[in-house]
Amino acid sequence: MAEDRIEPAIELARSGDIKYLCYDALSEKEIQLASLRKLRNSTEGHDKYIEKRLEPILPFCANRGLKLVSNMGSANPLRAAEVIKGLCRKLDVRGLKIASIVGDDVLSIMREIDPVVAETGQPVSAFGERVISANAYIGAEAILTALRQGADIVVGGRIADASLYLGPILHEFGWKADDWDRIARGLIVGHIMECGGQSTGGNFADPGYKDVLDLHRLGFPIAEVFESGETILTKVPGSGGMVTTATVTEQLLYEMGDPANYIEPDVIVDITEATVEQAGKDRVWIRGVKGKPRPLQLKVALGVLDGFIGEGMLFFGGPGAYEKAKLAGEIIMKRLDLIGVKSEELRIDLVGVNAIFQPNYELAVVAPREVGIRVAGRTCDRAEAAKIAYEVNACPTNGPAGMSALSGGLTRDDVREVLAYYHTFIARERVRPTVSVETVN
């Protein structure tokens, strides 16, 4: 995932009984931010942590023959490949073949065919020039091509998360292109592994109900895949976390939607007859997955500039914290009305009271001793958003007593640009990924 730690990957590269290491580092948010960086600087747009993530790993690629597959190219795979080559030369790691995959960027095609956006029911053109990116979720086929050309490191852009892991499996076993059951089993391996530690105890612990040991040194998963596609999931012995039927099942169902029709670029997966069985300590069998022919269309992620957010946070502690926070919110709302701020959306959350639950939730029994208040407004204009942040920042000396303010962490004037995510679809044949392979000399 985009914010994963590097230590578990180093542990896998050093101690794991593995042939391939996959880095899934590209969320919808990340591809949009990367596209915006590239738009403003053509040498940017790749994963901003690429050097930090790969420098400790590259010697293992050379010394152990470990192959690396990733989507860290983000919006600029060609530049990512150049960065990796530079790292190899810096570390004196020579002879590795680096493959870059491009072709997921379909912005020009979107403008040509102008398909309907799923969330709005309107054509893409309705967004005007605010559309800055359009990336098709491509499958494992391009990875397979790169590996067949001898690539040691494969870096692409919006390769679908699970497809990163399917590519090496297809390369190893040479399954037929229409062997949907086996392809679906390989795809599910990727689905279970794509979120890193979520299948080994991350995002799982609930103290007293679901306890997980040593989460501070959580190990990431290893898949032992058989020619049939059936798989044992495990981890490096002695690493933190655990691999159980519960951790694997939770990840299996994560973001699944229809379990009989889980649509991915490579195959449509049916897990309704799948089984998850414990095979020993930190070893779990995944069997019984079935597949259907791949979809005729590919999903496309759209990045749309959607205005600006001005925000700020204040905190109150001690007796009357709740009442003071409510008063601060009322003051800010009246101030924004008084100065005529024009906002598309405006919300005030009392953190610890109603920020997560329904907006009209009132304290039932005991007033909290500390309450935070977050004010956030979305506007079409940066200057209007800055006014919202300014009023929050002005409150500590012009509002209720006993207040502290959160400062920093945002862009100029506590304003940040909004990148909205939408999606549409494109005919598979309109997307033509290409692979380039170069050797580091």
Q: Quick: pLDDT tens for 6-48.
A: 999 999 999 999 999 999 999 888 999 999 999 999 999 999 9
- Give residue 351's pLDDT band: very low, low, confident or very high (50, 70, 90): confident
Q: Considering the entire predicted model, what is its pTM?
A: 0.92
- What is the C-alpha separation between 227 and 244, in angstroms, rounded? 23
pLDDT of 154 reads: 98
CB atoms within 10 A of CB 176: 8
pLDDT of 354 reads: 76
The average confidence (pLDDT) of the chain is 93
Vertex 113, ends 111 and 115: CA angle to 5°?
95
Q: Of 47, 75, 62, 52, give the one whose Cα is nearest residue 13.
A: 62
- What is the C-alpha separation between 155 and 84, in angstroms, rounded? 9
Q: Which domains does the chain have, with CATH numbers?
A: 7-300+424-439 (no CATH), 306-422 (3.30.70.1440)
Distance of CA 197 to the CA centre of its chain: 13
pLDDT of 412 reads: 46
Question: What's the average model confidence in pLDDT over 294-304?
Answer: 97
Higher pLDDT, 374 or 365: 374
Is the pLDDT at 367 greater than 80? The verdict is no
Strands 97-102, 153-155: pairing is parallel
- What is the C-alpha separation between 316 and 54, in angstroms, rounded? 43
Contact indicator for 430, 109 with CB cutoff of 8 Å:
yes
- What is the C-alpha separation between 250 and 245, in angstroms, rounded? 8
Residue with tokens 């909004």: 418
Contact indicator for 361, 352 with CB cutoff of 8 Å:
no
Residue 170's contacts (CB-CB under 8 Å, 6 or more residues apart) are 140, 143, 144, 183, 186
